[in-house]
Structure 1
């Protein structure tokens, strides 16, 4: 009796099962994310952007991310829609 080849390839099936997620990308491809440091002071909030050497002061905590994105966009020339920020460190006021 002749042996017929199998239509299933075990290695191909195994590879497709283990690769369910997209590969991780080390650098953003659409926009750029900047780490910021936020500190509370008596007059409001001080934002430090170490990657570009920027400092911004705002009155309310809700304005921190938008102000940081605006500062980054004006200094680097990247459109504000492509800039994202991540609060890496937030400190309270010291008296």
Structure 2
């Protein structure tokens, strides 16, 4: 029986692989610019939340979805549509 220290692994030198993206569920979100941030609507769950910066929209939306649905944050994908 081989122990972990006896098992050899091969490294592919010079080859970088893109990380695999696994989603449990993907949600469409609607974003709307307001005077001091972004309103985020999540129609599939009837939720709304708010982000101060554009960069934070995805994280805030995923946290809201995770809190309302119980789906782990790492398994949630979002696709944003900006509403004028």
The TM-score with structure 2 as length reference comes to: 0.70
How far residue 65 of structure 1 moved from its aligned partner, in angstroms, is: 0.3
1:10-49 to 2 correspondences below 5 Å:
30-49=23-42
Task: Measure the CA separation in 1 of the matches of 2:23 and 2:54.
Answer: 27
Q: Which runs of 5+ in 2 are unaligned?
A: 1-21
How far residue 43 of structure 1 moved from its aligned partner, in angstroms, is: 1.5
Task: Measure the CA separation in 2 of the matches of 1:58 and 1:69.
Answer: 12
Runs of 4 or more, structure 1, over 6 Å off, are none
Structure label with greater radius of gyration:
1
Count of residues in Structure 1 that have an aligned counterpart in Structure 2: 63
Give yes or no for the alignment of 1:59 onto 2:23. Answer: no
Specify which of 67, 78, 84 is matched with residue 74 of structure 1.
Answer: 67
Task: Measure the CA separation in 1 of the matches of 2:23 and 2:64.
Answer: 19
Task: Measure the CA separation in 2 of the matches of 1:76 and 1:86.
Answer: 17
RMSD (Å), alpha carbons: 1.4
How far residue 34 of structure 1 moved from its aligned partner, in angstroms, is: 0.2
| Counterpart position of 1:90 | 82
